[in-house]
């Protein structure tokens, strides 16, 4: 009986959505659609996998808008003259311009407009923190004084990109005539993919060097399948190959060959360093070497890249068979680790973060999903030490309670430990997700490259390093940041490389 009730209700919703869209479209075509009509459209929720069911699979959680939902959401956009949203997008996608054709159902046009500025819309529509980027300055969100009620630009971008993929639309970007110049791209993450595409388009010979056995960087080893299906990343890599980009995996620059060797011996005219920030930070507390303590990088690499969730069902890489897991940190990597632990069968997953929820750098949507999946948040708490048994295996973490003090250099209120507030949580696994630093390998093996005190590469406004012909961008320059910022820097660097090669 209940079941029937819900299916009827669902059908009704669909019917209502369609009716609403038809009415609005009529007004839209008559030219009588007023801003007040647009404000009245309810923000379209993202259809998603049931929160209980999804705990036991790695399939994507957010299922994407239906065509009706996308067009309704697109109608919420006021088409502001000044389009404040564009300034919030690191690569300046012409947002209102791509949203307008969605209303009319011309998704191809929408996609073409996005593609002028962004090469990975299916990725960015999924993983960008839109609430602090394009959706933050949205006029609709401002009107409701709630960024969650802003136009869902990311979901619309994703809808258009997914629509394009469904059309089997594999338009390979046009490549200019061969110039005879060679460019090396080091690292195949989002920044490297953008550089490779843009430089190849200009007719240069491009080789991408990747240390792992699979390309895609953080998109394949870090961000889990349930947030970013690997098939989407693979399509982008396949497109690079179709453009004639040469991809060499299992090649670690600095060891297999140095940048100097690549430039001087192999005759590359320019190089882009996009190796990311892949050096895990630890807390340097007692017990961090116990069995069962992972860096988030290790935990996620085992799970995502090596498919440890299929261990015993084809995959050979093991991962802890945890019952109680504590994840330390409040960023996206922490959310990904906690949600991965749930899917690996942990009965209890705790998220331990030293500030309050307001200061969490993770995407609001991911925090929401994590809570739905039963992850227990321990806010204003931080581990003091990790306890283990005689076998050297984790048994518990001892935490301190914290309170927020004055704002620090980052503008966030600094967490201050409360003396004597120790308490312990029984766990058999601890995942440390407190951030990543710059891997020192390239710096150590590339004389003349200028680094800052954190080991990040110093570049000018064109992403050029201290070495001629060598450019860098993404996390190795910025410190751990976002996919879209890495793409933005890739764009800048590629333009500079193309310019540099004209004169060379």
Partner 1 sequence: MSHKLLSKKQLCPDVYVADIAVPLVASAAKPGQFVIVCLKGTYSERIPLTIAGSDAEKGSIRLIWQAVGKSTAELGHLKVGDEVENILGPLGKPTHIEKFGTVVCVGGGIGNAPLLPIAAAMKKAGNKVISILGARTKELLILEDEFKAFSDEIIIVTDDGSYGKKALVTEPLKEICQRPDKPNLTVAIGPAIMMKFCCATTKPFDVPTVVSLNTIMIDGTGMCGGCRVEVGGQTKFVCVDGPEFDGHKVNFDLMMKRMQAYKKQEAQALEEYKKHRCKIGL
Write out the residues near partner 1 by the rule CB under 8 A: 211-214, 248-252, 255-257, 278-280, 282, 284, 288-292, 294-295, 297-298, 301-302, 305-307, 310-312, 314-318, 320-321, 391-393, 439-441
**Residue 42: CB minimum distance to partner 1, A:** 42
* H/E stretch holding 295: strand 293-295
Nearer to partner 1, 20 or 279 (CB): 279
Nearer to partner 1, 305 or 364 (CB): 305
Contacts of 296 (CB under 8 A, 6+ apart): 280, 327, 329, 333, 334, 336, 337, 431, 432, 433
Neighbouring-strand partners of residue 397? 386, 425
Nearer to partner 1, 59 or 250 (CB): 250
Task: Please state whether beta strands 348-353 and 324-328 pair in parallel, antiparallel, or not at all (unpaired).
Answer: parallel
Nearer to partner 1, 93 or 320 (CB): 320
- Phi, psi torsion values for 409, nearest 5 degrees: -55, -30
**Residue 174: CB minimum distance to partner 1, A:** 28
Contacts of 276 (CB under 8 A, 6+ apart): 187, 189, 191, 217, 218, 439, 474, 475, 476, 486
**Residue 172: CB minimum distance to partner 1, A:** 23
Nearer to partner 1, 72 or 319 (CB): 319
Nearer to partner 1, 69 or 295 (CB): 295
* H/E stretch holding 240: helix 230-242
Return left, alpha or beta for 470; rule: phi > 0 is left, psi -120 to 50 is alpha, else beta: beta
Nearer to partner 1, 211 or 451 (CB): 211
Nearer to partner 1, 176 or 321 (CB): 321
* Best CA proximity match to 223, nearest among 310, 114, 335, 311: 335
Burial 409-421 (b: 16+ CB within 10 A, else e): eeeebbbebeeee
Nearer to partner 1, 180 or 440 (CB): 440
* H/E stretch holding 293: strand 293-295
* Best CA proximity match to 197, nearest among 234, 161, 243: 243
**Residue 310: CB minimum distance to partner 1, A:** 7
Nearer to partner 1, 252 or 364 (CB): 252
CB 290 within 8 A of CB 392: yes
- Give the span between the Cα atoms of 384 and 419, in whole angstroms: 11
Which single residue is written with the structure tokens 């190795």?
476
Three-point CA angle 193, 433, 191, nearest 5°: 10
**Residue 133: CB minimum distance to partner 1, A:** 27
Q: How far apart are the first and last CA of the chain?
A: 75
Task: Please state whether beta strands 205-209 and 279-280 pair in parallel, antiparallel, or not at all (unpaired).
Answer: unpaired
CB 369 within 8 A of CB 227: no
- Give the span between the Cα atoms of 38 and 164, in whole angstroms: 27
């Amino acid at each position: 009986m209940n079941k029937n009730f819900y299916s009827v209700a669902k059908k009704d919703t669909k019917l209502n959505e369609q009716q609403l869209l038809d009415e609005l479209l009529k007004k839209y075509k008559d030219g009588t659609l007023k801003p007040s009509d647009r404000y009245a459209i309810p923000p379209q929720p993202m259809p998603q996998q049931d929160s209980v069911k999804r705990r036991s699979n790695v399939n994507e959680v957010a299922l994407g808008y239906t065509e009706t939902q996308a067009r309704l959401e697109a109608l919420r956009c006021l088409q502001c003259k000044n389009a404040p949203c564009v300034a919030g997008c690191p690569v300046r996608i012409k947002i209102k311009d791509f949203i307008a054709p969605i209303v009319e159902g011309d998704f191809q046009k929408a996609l073409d407009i996005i593609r002028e500025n962004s090469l990975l819309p299916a990725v960015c529509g999924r993983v960008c923190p839109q609430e602090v980027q394009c959706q933050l300055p949205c006029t609709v969100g401002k009107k409701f004084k709630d960024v969650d009620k802003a136009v869902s630009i990311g979901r619309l971008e994703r809808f258009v990109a997914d629509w394009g993929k469904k059309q089997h639309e594999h338009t390979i970007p046009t490549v200019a005539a061969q110039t005879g110049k060679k460019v090396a791209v080091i690292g195949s993450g989002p920044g490297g993919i953008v550089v490779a595409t843009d430089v190849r388009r200009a007719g240069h010979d491009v080789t991408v060097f990747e240390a792992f056995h699979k390309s895609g960087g953080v998109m394949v080893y870090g961000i889990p399948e349930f947030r970013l299906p690997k098939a989407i990343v693979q399509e982008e890599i396949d497109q690079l190959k179709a453009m004639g980009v040469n991809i060499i995996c299992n090649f670690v620059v600095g060891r297999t060959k140095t940048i100097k060797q690549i430039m001087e011996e192999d005759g590359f005219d320019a190089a882009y360093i996009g190796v990311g920030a892949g050096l895990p930070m630890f807390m340097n507390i007692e017990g961090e070497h116990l069995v069962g303590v992972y860096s988030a990088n290790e935990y996620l690499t085992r799970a995502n890249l090596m498919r440890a969730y299929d261990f015993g069902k084809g995959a050979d890489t093991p991962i802890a068979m945890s019952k109680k897991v504590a994840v330390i940190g409040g960023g996206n990597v922490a959310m990904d680790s906690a949600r991965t632990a749930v899917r690996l069968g942990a009965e209890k997953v705790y998220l331990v973060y030293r500030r309050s929820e307001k200061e969490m750098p993770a995407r609001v949507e991911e925090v929401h999903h994590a809570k739905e999946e039963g992850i227990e948040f321990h806010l204003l708490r931080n581990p003091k030490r990790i306890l283990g048994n005689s076998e050297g295996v984790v048994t518990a973490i001892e935490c301190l309670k914290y309170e927020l003090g004055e704002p620090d250099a980052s503008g966030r209120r600094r967490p201050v430990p409360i003396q004597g507030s120790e308490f312990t949580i029984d766990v058999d696994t601890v995942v440390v997700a407190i951030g990543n630093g710059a891997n020192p390998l390239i710096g150590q093996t590339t004389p003349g490259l200028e680094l800052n005190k954190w080991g990040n590469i110093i570049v000018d406004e064109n992403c050029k390093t201290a070495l001629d012909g060598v450019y860098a961008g993404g996390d190795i320059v910025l410190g751990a940041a976002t996919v879209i910022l890495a793409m933005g820097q890739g764009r800048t660097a590629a333009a500079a490389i193309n310019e540099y090669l004209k004169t060379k």
